[in-house]
Structure 1
Amino acid sequence: MLRSPGYLKLLLLAALIGVPVSLVAFGFLSLEHELQHWVWESLPDRLGFARAPWWWPLPTLALAGVLVAPVLRWMTGHGGHLPVKGLGGPPQPPKALPSVVLAALIALPLGTSLGPEVPLMAIGSGLALMAAARAQREDRPKAAAIVGTAGSTAAIATVFGNPVVGCVMVLEAAGLGGPQLLLLVLPCLVASGVGALVFTGFGHWTGLGIGALALPSLPPSGTPDAGEFLWAVPIAALIAAVVVGAQSLGWSTAAFTRQYTPSRTVVCAVLVGVCTAAYALFTGRSPEEAALSGQVMLGQLAADPHAWGVGALALLVLCKGLALGVSLGSLRGGPIFPVVLIGAAVGIACSGLPGLGTAAGLSIGLAASGAAITGLPVTATLLAVLLVGDNAPNAAPLMIVSTAVSFLVATLLKRRAPAL
């Protein structure tokens, strides 16, 4: 199969697909990033506020609900994949892409507690399926599915900042082995690698920001000791319980919005705004910290973890968790980024425990949260290791233990997903 002309053409198509997918993904992320900056920083400044006031999420999220409700109800594709159902789902057909893009560009900049990863995957797979239209007409759905997966991988690799993470995530989620895995892995690697090359060069050329998941500064890390390994077990279990609780709230919200979708979507968006505003009101901090995907906040938390007291971190986890749960079942976006922020906040809040340092708590939180929300332990470990950068050699063993514990606890706690 690998030597056949058809498969070689498929690899070439995957490489070619990586170029337009990465450019479209770059444009989407840049626009979303600029809109977010305008809503949460430029507009409050023009209105005379030093920063967004505590009540700012109330009108922004209400506006998000009003604008996104018609998209979810009447546009083809209904805004794409419901995030509480996870990262999977069938590839979005090209005709659904306008609703996916529009729903994401409305909800994400206005403060929805979701990330851009699921819309990115839908954009990548939809564009790839457009390129694979000939394969579909020739009744080769397997080839079209491979190309669609490659496009999805190329898109998601952009926001993770590394093409390997997206590739491993898609392959682990596919659950394939043997020759089938090899047939899928090469197109995904080629598409994501070419896409990352184009994406990186285009980013340097334009100077535009996309808010990719990254930790520019980290607390120093030493070799983990026995105490840190012991603390990793209950902390990872706690993070898994928090994430499963948010998912359960998401399923209840999805059932609530199944009927009377437009009006109930507005209600849910307002509830997200209330949760976000409550954090700012009770802590005296910016509501932006509890809003949005959490990409920026994660970097700030890692760079200066002692700027937040334990009480503020606990309120962040509570308010962000409630906002995430409501968003998962009613709005559109991805679940990974906000969950990683919640996990990091739990880990840093627990870092004052005897025998547990700040760097160890952060490492536990990053790894455990990724495993709990994705159900993909290998992907979660790889993402966490890449995030901590130079700390990886010391942090990796602790992260592996945290990932395993969180994955097992989350699997045991998850209730059967209702049919929606």
Structure 2
Amino acid sequence: MSDATAAPPVMWRPYARLLAVSALLGIVISVAAFAFLALLHLMTHAVWEELPHAWGFSEPPWWWPVPWLLIGGAGVGIAVRSLPGHGGHAPVQGLSMGPVPASHVPGILLGALAGLPLGAVLGPEAPLLALGSALALIVVGPWRGSLSDPARNVLALAGAAAAISAIFGSPVVGAVFIVEATALAGVAGQNLARTVLPAVLASGIGGLVFTGVGQWTGLEIASLALPGIQGPARLDLADVLWTIPLAVVVAAAVRGVRGLGGVVARWSAPRPFVGAMVGAVAVALCASAYALLTGRSPEDVVLSGQGLLGPLAADPAAWGVGALLALLVLKGLGYAVSLGSLRGGPIFPAVLLGAAAGALLGDLPGYGAVPALAAGMAAATAASLPFPVSASVLVVLLLGSAAPPLTPVVLLAATVGYVTEHYVLGPSRHAEQHAPAH
């Protein structure tokens, strides 16, 4: 007899209510997530596309990031220094899926809306997770007295799952992410199933509603996406062999970026407003230097990299070796500074930098451009998170129809990247806070 049939029958009704509330949360939070991401998209498009064109520029000039990042740094600095919750935790600490009090929402919103669309080299996943968790606790507020602490934690996790399925563009990624995070937090057996099932349900329903709202409104939102890319029909031996050193190099680079981000975080912690302002200026200088050196738009360096990922994957040769090197160095520096001084999520820029590394090394003898791109993304994502399975699933889904022959390279790169970062290089000085609270 399985554990499920041996469970006391009296537990079914409260658990069924928990599932029903989780389904409701999936609907509510997916709508809120869509609104949040749509607002981010509209603000980003206005600052980096509409305003330059209105002022007679075909693309943002080299100096364009400076004034906007000064404004963004001031907004983030106010959120971190003066509002409850400090605008969310520093992104160098990773992702947190624990319960978030409603009092933290204004600071999280200000930190995200001030920094992300104005040029912070971070993604929206961390504030969206926090907002999903907080909104879940707000929705169940009237029944709070009848809920146990574990039930509140499970519902907060369900809220985070609904939010993360939105930002990754797939409820599958959200569900795998939650399951892996919960398992790594030490929950096992039947407790694991009972804990993650509401989150999986919320993620699935949230993804369905999120897609429907997008079709109904016609509004664009920002999520990780690649255009249809043409992968090889099969892998060559060289593709497999080159993937191993590529993954090691990418993981070591991720460690270096995160280490620099930790240095910035330690300096910024006692002076959050000054730290945010200095960090914003540093990001702006990186973007301006990139534009002056390459003749390309400074927008390549600022922001999360979501918008750049598609063009890079579609035509990596359009950058050239010099531009790719400049992108890796200067966006990597901007990413490190943003990790320590601004507010947002750490995943999206890592995916972009991994793709850029793959595009740069795709000309190695016998190495295909698309396998190198896939390997770079997988290694960078697995090195930046303690979730190698989620990293692999995310990259496989990004590759779309090209994924089947490339999946072995993705899994190999994710494994090598994860092992290099978390075992070969040793524990980082900055403990990552990815696990949900229980």
Q: Name the residue aligned to 1:303.
A: 314
Q: Report the alpha carbon displacement of residue 134 of structure 1 after superposing the two structures with TM.
A: 5.2
Look up the equivalent residue of 2:201 and give its one-letter code.
V
Q: Name the residue aligned to 2:50.
A: 42
Q: Name the residue aligned to 1:123.
A: 131
Q: Name the residue aligned to 2:122.
A: 114
Q: Name the SS of the counterpart of 2:98 in structure 1.
A: coil
Q: Report the alpha carbon displacement of residue 139 of structure 1 after superposing the two structures with TM.
A: 5.8
Give the alignment of 1:409-420 within 5 angstroms: 409-411=420-422, 412-413=424-425, 414-417=427-430
Look up the equivalent residue of 1:110 and give its one-letter code.
L
Q: Name the residue aligned to 1:142.
A: 150
- Contact preservation (8 Å) 2:44, 2:118: yes
Query: Is 1:188 equivalent to 2:196 in the alignment?
Result: no
Give the alignment of 1:1-400 within 5 angstroms: 4-88=12-96, 90-133=98-141, 136-138=144-146, 140-174=148-182, 175=184, 176-400=187-411
Distance across 2 between alignment mates of 1:90 and 1:11: 19
Give the structure-1-normalised TM-score.
0.97
Look up the equivalent residue of 2:163 and give its one-letter code.
A
Distance across 2 between alignment mates of 1:186 and 1:195: 14
Q: Name the SS of the counterpart of 2:84 in structure 1.
A: coil
Q: Name the SS of the counterpart of 1:78 in structure 2.
A: helix
Q: Name the SS of the counterpart of 2:225 in structure 1.
A: coil
Q: Report the alpha carbon displacement of residue 12 of structure 1 after superposing the two structures with TM.
A: 0.1
Distance across 2 between alignment mates of 1:14 and 1:418: 30
Mind listing any 5+ residue stretches in structure 2 that lack a counterpart?
1-6, 434-438
Distance across 2 between alignment mates of 1:25 and 1:104: 13
Distance across 2 between alignment mates of 1:142 and 1:4: 16
Q: Report the alpha carbon displacement of residue 366 of structure 1 after superposing the two structures with TM.
A: 1.5
Look up the equivalent residue of 2:34 and give its one-letter code.
F
Distance across 2 between alignment mates of 1:248 and 1:365: 20
Mind listing any 5+ residue stretches in structure 1 that lack a counterpart?
none
- Contact preservation (8 Å) 1:135, 1:141: no
Identity of aligned residues (%): 46
Q: Name the SS of the counterpart of 1:77 in structure 2.
A: helix
Q: Name the SS of the counterpart of 1:173 in structure 2.
A: helix
Distance across 2 between alignment mates of 1:83 and 1:418: 12
Q: Report the alpha carbon displacement of residue 136 of structure 1 after superposing the two structures with TM.
A: 4.3
- Contact preservation (8 Å) 1:377, 1:407: yes
Look up the equivalent residue of 1:142 and give its one-letter code.
P
- Contact preservation (8 Å) 1:81, 1:89: no
- Contact preservation (8 Å) 1:135, 1:143: no
- Contact preservation (8 Å) 2:33, 2:128: yes
- Contact preservation (8 Å) 1:173, 1:376: yes
Q: Name the stretch that deviates more: 144-153 or 367-376.
A: 367-376
- Contact preservation (8 Å) 2:97, 2:130: no
Distance across 2 between alignment mates of 1:150 and 1:89: 10
Look up the equivalent residue of 1:401 and give its one-letter code.
L
Q: Which whole-Å deviations, capped at 9, do the CAs of 1:220-278 have from their partners, x for residues lacking one?
A: 32311211111001100111111111111111111111112212220111001111111
Look up the equivalent residue of 1:27 and give its one-letter code.
A
Q: Which whole-Å deviations, capped at 9, do the CAs of 1:144-168 have from their partners, x for residues lacking one?
A: 0000000000001001110010121
- CA, structure 1 residues 263+315, in 2 after alignment: closer, same or farther (shift >3 Å)? same
Give the structure-2-normalised TM-score.
0.93
Q: Report the alpha carbon displacement of residue 77 of structure 1 after superposing the two structures with TM.
A: 1.3
Q: Name the SS of the counterpart of 2:362 in structure 1.
A: helix
- Contact preservation (8 Å) 1:219, 1:302: no
- Contact preservation (8 Å) 1:232, 1:364: yes
Q: Name the SS of the counterpart of 1:353 in structure 2.
A: coil
Q: Report the alpha carbon displacement of residue 135 of structure 1 after superposing the two structures with TM.
A: 5.6
- Contact preservation (8 Å) 1:219, 1:358: no
Q: Name the stretch that deviates more: 291-300 or 132-141.
A: 132-141
RMSD: 1.6
Distance across 2 between alignment mates of 1:173 and 1:186: 13
Q: Name the stretch that deviates more: 174-183 or 32-41.
A: 174-183
Q: Report the alpha carbon displacement of residue 419 of structure 1 after superposing the two structures with TM.
A: 11
Q: Name the stretch that deviates more: 133-142 or 379-388.
A: 133-142
- Contact preservation (8 Å) 2:136, 2:156: yes
Look up the equivalent residue of 1:302 and give its one-letter code.
A
Q: Name the stretch that deviates more: 351-360 or 129-138.
A: 129-138
